[in-house]
């Protein structure tokens, strides 16, 4: 497992700038006017640096270098200022000059090593750290903990993890109560997948500094790697300790989402996006979570913002296309998915998602072409074979559909969908024995499939296995209480069993369900008509449509809610409040207050 820990903080300039007069350091020379001026400029530069006035400090140290070019201190000081200003190329040049003047000077070595480290030239930094360490050991000394920490980081970056750990251990030995060093050591152990030692170091860092948010973050990753409990609690604790840190929120939120806890991740990633509204990664990770939670109306604008900022981000294009398809807006999805394929034609997922969008715009042939392309890229994908089989089924091509679905089932016998669709296809071809075995296999893997039980009940009926048909159909009714078809099929089976009274009851139930469904559809149409009238500013006409919808289906909550909005515009605040309360009463059995209508039945009387 790879853990992307945040970068260690960069160390300060290792060599303290000396206050010794430069004039006295040039052996064999008298203190000329130029050297005395260099000495004065040096002192003024130090004073400016202490005040953090980098412009004056740079000017003064530049004068020192001009007046006394062979003085190592001037180059080191100028390099330090340039480094602090982020002008790393200039800083490195000055540090190199300082080291050339005093080749054995450990401070000069460490300054240059630190600069190389900051620019990513780790291989150049390693020998400098090694030379400084050798010089220290020759004097029976050790490098300071901050230097050991940086040396360890460079060693780890160049793949020498064991040596890095040894150097960080030495730093911890020197400064055992430093929580940052403990966290650094834990990070190195984690990179080496030595989870036990990593957990101990992160735990010790937290013991020394309970509010250490990053250590909690790191400990969570280690606990996850160890398959121990409380990983999510550690990530949540990190967010609690650093409520204004967008990076902590992003890392923790993504980790929680990756652990399969999207509901918990969503508010954390929302906070990350709030703290860093222009950070593409925060927007993207939040969008992915919202998409998985089916909060598509929120996810789609975020994905569009990511694509706008990163037009060549194929993954974002794919997910945006998928989200639009999920929102039944396939026409808008197509160009995004096509652009993703143009960027990465070898991406099987892009072809798969484009194939999923095409049937929504009645282009099944194009979907089949995309799925065949995807299968060339990923021939052993059970999902792709399943999707292609489903596409062939849409074209009433049973032979090719069966072949692909059987392949999907063989590639992944634990998937229930291929067997289910095969069962439906076999039933349509009157191959009832094969249909029953496929449906039984599918329902064994996934019994929560009401349609599957209804289909199996119909197949058992065809096979004359009437008691089994009754059991399957009753399970279908249990899972699909609002559907009429299982009741009708059950009625037909009961007639065969000479249970006429029970069959009549099932038909009555089916008739009531069909009537309720018809009324629901009429209410839906009337409500949509009312909403359209509202958009056109025809409030009075909209009120009529909303009332019609309620007359069709008194328990259609949206009609009550929309009527409340229309009545509000008419100035009928009391009636609007009553309708709004009705909508809430329908959606939840608990009334808002003692004055609210007591459930859906009371709403119909308004």
- % of the chain exceeding 70 in pLDDT: 92
For residues 77 and 477, what is the distance between their CA atoms, to the nearest angstrom?
83
Q: How far is CA 79 from the centre of its chain?
A: 42
Of 239, 234, 197, nearest to 219 by C-alpha is 234
Average pLDDT value for the chain: 91
CA angle, residues 32, 36, 37, in degrees to nearest 5: 115
Distance of alpha carbon 45 from alpha carbon 47, whole angstroms: 5
Please write the tens of the pLDDT for every residue from 439-449.
999 999 999 99
- State yes or no: pLDDT of 593 exceeds 60: no
In angstroms, how far is CA 178 from the centroid of its own chain?
33
347: phi then psi, degrees, rounded to nearest 5: -85, 105
* 498 pLDDT tier (thresholds 50, 70, 90): very high
Q: At what angle do helices 382-394 and 348-357 cross, to 10 degrees?
A: 20
Q: Which residue has the higher pLDDT, 392 or 3?
A: 392
- The residue ranking higher by pLDDT, 9 or 509, is 509
Measured between alpha carbons, how far is 196 from 201 in angstroms, rounded to an integer?
Answer: 9
In angstroms, the CA 353 to CA 298 distance is 20
For residue range 526-567, list pLDDT tens digits in order.
999 999 999 999 999 999 999 999 999 999 999 999 999 999
The confidence score (pLDDT) of residue 23 equals 41
User: With bands split at pLDDT 50, 70 and 90, how would you rate the model's confidence at 588?
Assistant: confident
CA atoms within 13 A on the CB side of 316: 23
User: What's the pLDDT score for residue 33?
Assistant: 85
- The C-alpha torsion from 456 through 457 and 458 to 464, rounded to 10°, is 110
Confidence of residue 12 (pLDDT cuts 50, 70, 90): very low
| pLDDT tier, 218 (very low <50, low <70, confident <90, very high otherwise) | very high
**What gap in Å lies between CA 585 and CA 278, rounded to an integer?**
40
pLDDT of 17 > 50? The answer is no
Question: What is the average pLDDT across 554-582?
Answer: 94
DSSP states along 516-570: HHHHHHHHHHHHHHHHHHHHTT-HHHHHHHHHHHHHH-TT-HHHHHHHHHHHHHT
Instruction: Please check whether residue 218 is in contact with residue 211, taking contact to mean a CB–CB distance below 8 angstroms.
Output: no
Q: Which residue has the higher pLDDT, 69 or 590?
A: 69
For 487, counting Cβ atoms within 10 Å of its Cβ (0-12 exposed, 13-18 middle, 19+ buried), the class is: buried
Place of tokens 């992160």: 202
Lowest mean pLDDT among 296-300, 334-338, 413-417, 584-588: 584-588
- What's the whole-number mean pLDDT along residues 204-230? 97
DSSP state of 14: S
Q: Which CATH class is domain 516-603?
A: mainly alpha
Distance CA 304, CA 298 (A): 11
CATH topology match: 1-175 vs 516-603: yes
Q: What is the pLDDT of residue 600?
A: 52
Residue 34's pLDDT is 87
- At what angle are helices 382-394 and 398-411 packed, to 10 degrees? 160
Q: pLDDT digits over 28-71, tens only?
A: 445 688 889 999 999 999 999 999 999 999 999 999 999 999 99
Give me the mean pLDDT over the 368-377 stretch. 97
Give CA–CA dist 284/483, Å, rounded.
Answer: 39
pLDDT class for 104, splitting at 50, 70, 90? confident
Per residue in 252-267, pLDDT tens?
Answer: 999 999 999 999 999 9
Q: pLDDT value at position 601?
A: 53
**DSSP codes of every residue in 478-526:** HH-TT-SHHHHHHHHHHHHTT-HHHHHHHHHHHHHHHHHHHHHHHHHHH
In whole angstroms, give the CA distance from residue 91 to residue 82: 5
Q: Which helix (H) or strand (E) holds 198?
A: helix 195-208
The CA distance from 143 to 149, in Å, is 10
**CA pair distance 514, 121, nearest whole angstrom:** 74
The pLDDT, as a whole number, for residue 10 is 32
Flag whether pLDDT at 16 surpasses 50: no
Q: Which among 65, 48, 74, 157 is positioned nearest to 113, based on CA atoms?
A: 157
Question: 64, 22 in Cβ contact below 8 A?
Answer: yes
Domain 1-175 annotated CATH 1.25.40.10:
yes
Instruction: For residue 255, give the nearest of 292, 227, 213, 224 by alpha carbon.
Output: 224
Helix (H) or strand (E) run with residue 430 in it: none
Token pair 């937290």: residue: 206
**Spacing of C-alpha 527 from chain mean position:** 37
List the domain boundaries for the chain.
1-175, 516-603
**Helix, strand, coil abundance in the chain, percent, nearest 5:** 75, 0, 25
105-109-115 Cα angle (round to 5): 150
Residue 83's contacts (CB-CB under 8 Å, 6 or more residues apart) are 13, 91, 114, 115, 118
Report whether pLDDT(4) > 80: no
Q: How confident is the model at residue 602 (pLDDT cuts 50, 70, 90)?
A: low
> Does residue 575 sit in helix, strand or coil?
helix
Residue 212 has pLDDT above 50, yes or no: yes
């Amino acid at each position: 497992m790879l853990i992307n820990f945040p970068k260690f903080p960069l160390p300060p300039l290792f060599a303290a700038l000396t206050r010794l007069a430069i004039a006295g350091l040039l052996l064999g020379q008298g203190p000329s006017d130029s050297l005395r001026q260099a000495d004065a400029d040096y002192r003024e530069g130090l004073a400016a640096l202490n005040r953090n006035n980098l412009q004056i400090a740079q000017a003064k140290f530049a004068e020192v270098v001009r007046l006394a070019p062979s003085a190592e201190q001037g180059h080191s000081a100028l390099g330090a200022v340039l480094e602090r200003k982020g002008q790393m190329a200039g800083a490195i040049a000055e540090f190199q000059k300082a080291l050339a003047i005093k080749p054995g000077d450990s401070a000069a070595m460490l300054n240059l090593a630190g600069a190389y480290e900051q620019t990513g030239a780790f291989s150049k930094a390693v020998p400098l750290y090694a030379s400084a360490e050798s010089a220290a050991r020759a004097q029976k000394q050790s490098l300071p903990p901050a230097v050991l920490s940086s040396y360890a980081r460079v060693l780890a970056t160049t793949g020498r993890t064991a040596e890095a750990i040894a150097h960080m251990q030495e730093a911890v030995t020197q400064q055992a109560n430093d929580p940052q060093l403990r966290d650094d050591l834990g990070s190195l152990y984690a990179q080496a997948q030595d989870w036990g030692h990593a957990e101990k170091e992160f735990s010790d860092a937290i013991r020394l500094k309970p509010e250490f948010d990053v250590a909690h973050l790191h400990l969570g990753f280690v606990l996850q790697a160890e398959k121990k409990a409380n990983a999510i609690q550690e990530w949540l604790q990190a967010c609690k300790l650093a409520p204004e840190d967008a990076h902590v929120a992003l890392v923790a939120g993504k980790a929680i989402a990756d652990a399969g806890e999207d509901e918990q991740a969503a508010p954390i990633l929302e906070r990350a996006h709030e703290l860093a509204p222009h950070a593409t990664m925060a927007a993207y990770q939040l969008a992915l979570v919202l998409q998985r939670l089916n909060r598509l109306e929120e996810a789609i604008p975020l994905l569009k913002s990511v694509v706008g900022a990163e037009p060549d981000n194929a993954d974002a294009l794919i997910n945006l296309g998928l989200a639009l398809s999920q929102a039944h807006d396939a026409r808008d999805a197509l160009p995004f998915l096509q652009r993703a394929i143009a960027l990465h034609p070898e991406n099987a997922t892009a072809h798969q998602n484009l194939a999923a969008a095409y049937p929504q715009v009645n282009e099944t042939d194009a979907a089949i072409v995309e799925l065949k392309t995807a299968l060339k890229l990923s021939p052993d994908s059970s999902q792709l074979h399943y999707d292609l089989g489903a596409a062939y089924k849409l074209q009433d091509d049973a032979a090719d559909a069966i072949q692909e679905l059987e392949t999907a089932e063989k590639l992944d016998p634990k998937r229930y969908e291929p067997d289910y669709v095969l069962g439906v296809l076999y039933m349509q071809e009157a191959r009832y024995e094969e249909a029953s075995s496929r449906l039984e296999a599918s329902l064994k893997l996934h019994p929560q499939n009401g349609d599957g039980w209804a289909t199996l009940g119909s197949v058992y009926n065809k096979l004359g296995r009437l008691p089994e048909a009754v059991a399957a159909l009753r399970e279908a009714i249990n899972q699909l209480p609002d559907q009429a078809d299982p009741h009708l099929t059950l009625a037909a089976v009961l007639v065969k069993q000479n249970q006429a009274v029970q069959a009549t009851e099932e038909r009555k139930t089916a008739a009531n369900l069909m009537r309720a469904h018809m009324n629901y559809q009429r209410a839906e149409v009337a409500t949509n008509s009312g909403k359209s009238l509202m958009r056109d500013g025809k409030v009075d006409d909209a009120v009529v449509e909303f009332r019609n919808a309620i007359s069709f289906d008194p328990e259609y909550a949206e009609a009550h809610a929309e009527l409340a909005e229309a009545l509000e515009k008419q100035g009928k605040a009391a009636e609007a409040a009553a309708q709004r309360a009705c909508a809430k009463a329908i959606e939840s059995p608990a009334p808002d207050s003692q004055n609210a209508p007591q459930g859906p039945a009371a709403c119909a009387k308004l």
